Amino acid sequence: MRLRRWAIILPLLCAFLVSCSPNSNDRPGRKHTITIAGSTSVMPFTEKLAEHFVVDHKNFIIDVQGGGSTAGIQAVINNTVDLGMSSRELKEGEKTLNTITICHDGIVVVVHPENPVTEMGLDQVRQIFSGRISNWSQLGWKDRKIDAVSREEGSGTRSAFEDLVMKGKEINDATMVQDSNGSVKEVVATDPYAIGYISMGLVDKKVKPVAIDGVNPSIKTIKSGRYKIVRPFLYITNGELEPKARQFVDYILSKEGQTILKNEGLVGFYD
Residues that bind other proteins (CB under 8 A): 16, 19-24, 40, 44, 47-48, 51, 61, 63-71, 74, 80, 145, 147, 152-155, 159, 170, 173-183, 185-187, 189-191, 193-194, 206
CA distance 146 to 99: 38
Whose Cβ is closer to other proteins: residue 61's or residue 117's? 61
Whose Cβ is closer to other proteins: residue 73's or residue 102's? 73
Whose Cβ is closer to other proteins: residue 185's or residue 231's? 185
Whose Cβ is closer to other proteins: residue 91's or residue 255's? 91
Q: How far is the CB of 165 from other proteins (least distance, A)?
A: 17
CA distance 29 to 22: 16
Q: 44-68 as b/e, with b when 16 or more CB fall inside 10 Å?
A: bbbebbbeebeeebeebebebbbbb
Residue 236 CA to chain centroid, in angstroms?
14
**What backbone torsions phi and psi does residue 80 show, to the nearest 5 degrees?**
-85, -15
Whose Cβ is closer to other proteins: residue 22's or residue 214's? 22
Q: How far is the CB of 238 from other proteins (least distance, A)?
A: 16
Type and span of the H or E element at 252? helix 243-253
Cβ burial of 250 (10 Å; 0-12, 13-18, 19+) is exposed
Q: How far is the CB of 269 from other proteins (least distance, A)?
A: 23
Q: How far is the CB of 225 from other proteins (least distance, A)?
A: 29
Q: How far is the CB of 106 from other proteins (least distance, A)?
A: 19
CA distance 200 to 227: 12
Whose Cβ is closer to other proteins: residue 47's or residue 250's? 47
Q: How far is the CB of 222 from other proteins (least distance, A)?
A: 24
CA distance 164 to 167: 6
